[in-house]
Amino acid sequence: MDFDAAYHANFSRLDTAVSDWSTLLTHLKELDQEARKGLKGAADKADRQGVTAQVTREFIGNTAGEFGDALDQYAESQSAADPVKRKSRIR
């Protein structure tokens, strides 16, 4: 793509995609908090003993942690796309 084509390109789809990513990031933050406080919190407070209870707690802890990992990766992707969004609005 040459400069003229890039300069006159329509970036509205890119702007929409970045905006959608921002919305998804907000929802992912909410899910992360719910997973850590709600799901993992309930599992940690459960009054159960035995191997099955321990395995379940570990599984729930790992699953809740995956939301945090996904949030971190998504936030990195969002921050990488943000400068592109700002540049597309310059014109």
Pairwise CA distance, residues 57 & 51, whole Å:
10
pTM of full prediction above 0.95: no
Helices (H), the chain: 3-7, 12-33, 41-45, 51-88
Q: What is the pLDDT of residues 39-76, one digit of tens each?
A: 899 988 888 888 898 999 999 999 999 988 988 888 88
Pairwise CA distance, residues 71 & 27, whole Å:
10
| pLDDT at residue number 46 | 87
> 87: how many CB neighbours lie within 10 A of its CB?
11
On whether the CB atoms of residues 36 and 68 are closer than 8 A, the answer is yes
| pLDDT value at 36 more than 50 | yes
| pLDDT at residue number 81 | 62
